[in-house]
Amino acid sequence: MWIVTPFSNIDGSPATGLTPQIYIEDIESSSVVSGSMTERNHGFYIYDFTGYDSTKSYMVFCDAVTLPTSIRYSHSSSGEYGDKINDIDVRTLLIKKIHTNKLELQDGDTGNWVLYQDDGINPLLIFNVTDKDGTFITQSPHTPSKRSKAIE
C-alpha cells in the first residue's frame, strides 16, 4: 500500500527537498514500522508500506524533521479509527477557515453570507443570514461588509 502525504512551507507553497520519516503502528500489536519517505513532486512524499494487511488498523505519523514545528507533522490512520480521525481533521480545518478566512455579507437577502477559500476569491460556504425571528437580513446595495483574511 502506498502512503502519500503533502508537506507545505509556512507560506503554503509545496515543501520540496525533504526526507520525511514515517512511523506506522499496528494498533492491535503496537508494532511499529519506520522508514524514510521519497519525494514525488509538488511537495508530495510517498512510502511503500509492503507489510500492509487490510484486516488490521494502523496509525501513521510522518515527520518532515526540518520544517518548523507547526507544520512539520502529518498523520493518518486506517481501519476502524480512520474515519473518526479524518472527520476530526476535516472539522478542525473548517473551524480554522471560519476563524481566519475572508468573510463577506453581500448585497441581497438570501445566500449573502460568504466564507471564502484560502485564496480569498472562491467561495467555500454560503449562508443565509437571518435575525432572531428568522427574517432575512438585507445588506444595503453596493456596501458589502467584509472581514479580510486574518493574519496567522
Q: pLDDT tens digit string along 17-51?
A: 999 999 999 888 888 999 999 999 889 999 998 88
Q: Is this structure's pTM higher than 0.85?
A: no
pLDDT in tens, 91-120: 667 777 777 777 777 776 667 778 888 888
* Options 2.60.410, 2.60.40, 1.25.10, 1.10.287; CATH of 2-96: 2.60.40
3-state secondary structure the chain: CEEEEECECCCCCECCCCCCEEEEEECCCCCEEEEECEECCCCEEEEECCCCCCCCCEEEEEECCCCCHHHCEEEEECHHHHHHHHHHHHHHHHHHHHHHCCEEECCECCCCEEEECCCCCCEEEEECCECCCCCECCECCCCCEEECCCCC
Residues of the chain with CATH 2.60.40: 2-96
